[in-house]
Structure formats: structure tokens, C-alpha cells
Amino acid sequence: MRSISIFGATGSIGVNTVDLIARQGGAEAYRTVALTGGRNIARLAEQARALRAEVAVTSEDDLYAELKDALAGSGIAVAAGRAALLEAADRPADWTMSAIVGAAGLAPGFRALRHGGTLALANKESLVAAGPLLMAEAARHGATILPVDSEHSAVFQALVGEDMAAVERIIITASGGPFRDWPLARLAAATVAEARAHPNWSMGLRISIDSASMFNKALELIETREYFGVDPARIEAVVHPQSIVHALVGFSDGGLMAHMGPADMRHAIGYALNWPGRREVPVARLDLAAIAQLTFEAPDEVRFPALALARAVMRTRGLSGAAFNAAKETALDAFLEGRLGFLAMAEVTQDTLARLGGALTSDPDSLDCVLDMDHLARRTAREIIAARG
Ligand code: NDP
Ligand code: MG
């Protein structure tokens, strides 16, 4: 029986993962080792009971008693806190979903690679902040990392049976988000409610805002560079409002392989779960005649400066991805709390990178080194935000 663990089970990706596993036989077909969540104890307990998990872990120390009560009499072990998340990752599983949001997902993902199994990677922050280390850690332990981000799953699928030497370019698409047509002046005053209303995808709060600001696409450009090992000059983002084509791979003979599918993360999660095979996934089937038109346009890097910042990070590499992600997360916190304007998120991120300057160019030799930069960049970004008043 295949064993699985899900980190971030209670989130948007996590719930879809649990749903697919339940449809593929649930506890009868899989041995669930660990399920982890954050504050949503009721959902975590329900999932742990349904999949008969060995251990359920909340990242929040203060919620230990609540989780213990919720799972009383179930025989499921309960733990809480950051150390407990790492201990859960130390329990071997054949397949692990990494779907914690943000830099908090780095350490558990790294630990899970030690078993040499498969890591389904939704947590793109891992590749942005620590791409070379993560890929090296996987290689050292004979582990497989499979992309779950829809664009990267699409590229991965378009590359099956292909020779990387023949790849000329990789194009990932962006819906353009809810603000695709908004002028700069209106963007400056955009609210959280407006920014979270994604036109095509249903996702967690943070990634929805990152989609509106194109920070998500910026992270994904870096993710593409790190996962596929392609020169940044060969990686493009194109705005495609219908979100039907998720990515394209261009080959040296002029051919372009496009991956199309509905805007439903269960496709990419299902692919990672069943790879190298495929199984039925209950997503809508595309009606191409009803869709009628697929359109593409160049992204506007003036209104969406995150993309240019990503280009700079891809040139510098070293610790710049860790700083970029941490500054972005800090600016996003401030935007969510109403302390920072929508466009100011990119300004704060840019100023943080500028202030850290030379410290960003060295290559980290350990995850601790990356996490130190993460903390330094958060502190720097907070100072920059405070100084703006
Ligand atoms: P959600 O916010 O919906 O879920 C995040 C999960 O992480 C929840 O289980 C949450 O627990 C848990 N969590 C939050 N903070 C912490 C913490 N500090 N320590 C440990 N666990 C924590 O996010 P998404 O599911 O949208 O995204 C998850 C990851 O997948 C992100 O990296 C995102 O970029 C990526 N991704 C998401 C896509 C999507 O469609 N949603 C598409 C492509 C990539 P709780 O809710 O219980 O507090
Ligand atoms: Mg994506």
C-alpha cells in the first residue's frame, strides 16, 4: 500500500489533494502517515479521521489541546509546533505533498526529501528561496520532485519524452488577474477585496493577491528557472486571460507544445499523484467551440513591476530569491493589514533587495543560510515599511 503525507492539508491545495485521495480509495488504498494544518483544527481533525492518519500536526503550539480534543478516541497521534512539523516530515512516506503556504513550507519539504520518495511541490517558495539546494538535496537522496504549480506541471507534461537539449524556450501563461486592464492610478488604491477576486482560479488568499500583483508570476518565472534549469533568457511569461493554455515549450525545430486544461488545480495534483501514469480526475472537460477564442498579450512590466524584479533575481541568484520572497511576504502582510498600498508591495520588495545589495550574491551552502537571509530580509522590509509611515 502506498504511503502518503500532506503538509498544508487544510489549505486550498491540501483540500483538493485529500479530495483526490478519497476518490482514489482513501484509507482503503493509501496509508496516510502525516497530515498537517495551521489554525483550521476542525478541518484537520475531520481529514485525519477520514484518511485514518497516523499523526495530525498543527503548526500552532496554542492549538495542541484543541486538536487533541478533536481527535480524542481516534487513536491518531497529535502534535503541535514547528519542531513537530519536522518530526512529521521525518516519518517516511512514498509520496509527500508540500502545500504549506510561504517560507514556512521550506524546512518540512527539505526534510521529506531524505526518504528518497516523491515530493509533490506546490510550495513554489521552496524553489524561489532555495532552488539549487532543494534540487541537490533531492538528487543526493534519490528523491523525485514533481511540480504541482499548474504552469510547471504543464511544462513537465509537455517535456515527457523530449530532449532538454532541444528546448529553445519555455512560456508560462498568466491570466492577468482581476487588474489586467486597470490603469496605474486605480491600481494604487486597489483594496484586498478587489485583489482577492481572481477571475479564473479559486485559490488561497495569499496566492490570489500575488496573482493580482503578478508577484505570483514573478515567483513562477524563478520557479521555472530553478526546476527546469533553463537559462532565464529562454523563459517568458505571456498574458492569456482565458487560462486555458497553462504553458508552452518551444523546440529547436520551431514546434511549440502547449498544455491546455480547465483552471482546476485537481488536474495538476492528480498528475503528480498518479505519475508516471494517469487516472481519471473529476475536472470539467473543455468545450473548445464554446471557449471559441484564446488570446495572448505581452505583460505590462510598468503596471506589474514584480516581473522585472524576478528578472533581476534570476540574474543574481545566490540569496536574492530568499530575500525577494521574504520581502514580498512581509509587504503582503502589510497590504492585508491595510498598512501598505497595492503598488507599494513592489516598491518595498525592490527597496529591500537594493538595501541588501552585496549580501545577496553569495551562494547559500545550507538551508540555515537561506533562513537567515529570510529573517534579515523580513526585518529590512519591516523597517522600510515603517519608514514610509
Ligand atoms: P492556503 O492558504 O489555502 O493553505 C495553506 C496551508 O498552510 C494551510 O493548510 C494552512 O493551515 C497552512 N499554514 C499556514 N501557515 C502555516 C505555517 N506558518 N506553518 C505551517 N502551516 C501553515 O494556501 P494554498 O493552498 O493556496 O497554497 C499552498 C501553496 O501552494 C503555496 O505555496 C502556493 O503558492 C502554492 N500554490 C497554490 C495554488 C492554488 O491554487 N491554491 C496553485 C499553485 C501553487 P490553516 O489553513 O489550517 O491555517
Ligand atoms: Mg501557477
How many CB atoms within 10 Å of residue 62? 10
Do the annotations mark residue 68 as ligand-binding?
A: no
Please give the Cα distance from 149 to 269 (Å, whole number). Answer: 8
What pLDDT, on a 0 to 100 scale, did the predictor assign at position 7?
99
The ligand 1 atom at the shortest distance from the C-alpha of residue 219 is: 34
Tell me the CA–centroid distance for residue 228 and ligand 2, in Å.
15
Q: Is residue 276, in this structure, part of any structural domain at all? A: no
Nearest to 95 by CA among 26, 8, 34, 25: 34
Nearest to 246 by CA among 229, 258, 264: 258
Statement to judge: residues 256 and 167 lie in one domain: yes
Residues of the chain where predicted confidence (pLDDT) is lower than 50? none
116 CB within 6 A, ligand 1: no
Do the annotations mark residue 175 as ligand-binding?
A: yes
Statement to judge: residues 6 and 143 lie in one domain: yes
What pLDDT, on a 0 to 100 scale, did the predictor assign at position 389?
81
Domain boundary among the residues 301, 329, 362 is at 301
Q: Is residue 308, in this structure, part of any structural domain at all? A: no
Dump pLDDT digits (tens) for 73-122: 999 999 999 999 999 999 999 999 999 999 999 999 999 999 999 999 99
Nearest protein CA to atom 16 of ligand 1, as residue: 38
Length of the chain: 389
Statement to judge: residues 126 and 153 lie in one domain: no
Please give the Cα distance from 246 to 294 (Å, whole number). Answer: 12
Do the annotations mark residue 236 as ligand-binding?
A: no
Q: Is residue 52, in this structure, part of any structural domain at all? A: yes
Tell me the CA–centroid distance for residue 220 and ligand 2, in Å.
7
Q: Which domain holds residue 253?
A: 149-262+286-301
Domain boundary among the residues 85, 115, 147 is at 147
Tell me the CA–centroid distance for residue 61 and ligand 1, in Å.
18
61 CB within 6 A, ligand 1: no
In the 3-class helix/strand/coil scheme, how is the chain assigned residue by residue?
CEEEEEECCCCHHHHHHHHHHHHCCHHHHEEEEEEEECCCHHHHHHHHHHHCCCEEEECCHHHHHHHHHHCCCCCCEEEECHHHHHHHHHCCCCEEEECCCCHHHHHHHHHHHHHCCEEEECCHHHHHHHHHHHHHHHHHHCCEEEECCHHHHHHHHHCCCCCHHHEEEEEEEECCCCCCCCCHHHHHCCCHHHHCCCCCCCCCHHHHHHHHHCHHHHHHHHHHHHHHCCCHHHEEEEECCCCCEEEEEEECCCCEEEEECCCCCHHHHHHHHHCCCCCCCCCCCCCHHHHCCCCCECCCCCCCCHHHHHHHHHHHCCCHHHHHHHHHHHHHHHHHCCCCCCCHHHHHHHHHHHHHHHHHCCCCCCHHHHHHHHHHHHHHHHHHHHHHC
265 CB within 6 A, ligand 1: yes
Statement to judge: residues 228 and 141 lie in one domain: no
Crossing angle of helices 215-228/306-316, nearest 10°? Answer: 30
CATH, residue 99: 3.40.50.720
Domain boundary among the residues 276, 301, 326 is at 301
Domain count, the chain: 3
Do the annotations mark residue 208 as ligand-binding?
A: no
Statement to judge: residues 203 and 240 lie in one domain: yes
**Ligand that lies nearest to the alpha carbon of residue 264, given by its number in the listed order:** 1
Q: Is residue 156, in this structure, part of any structural domain at all? A: yes
Statement to judge: residues 191 and 291 lie in one domain: yes
104 CB within 6 A, ligand 1: yes
Tell me the CA–centroid distance for residue 263 and ligand 1, in Å.
18
pTM here is 0.98
Q: Is residue 271, in this structure, part of any structural domain at all? A: no
Statement to judge: residues 25 and 111 lie in one domain: yes
Do the annotations mark residue 12 as ligand-binding?
A: yes
Q: Is residue 10, in this structure, part of any structural domain at all? A: yes
Statement to judge: residues 16 and 129 lie in one domain: yes
What pLDDT, on a 0 to 100 scale, did the predictor assign at position 335?
98
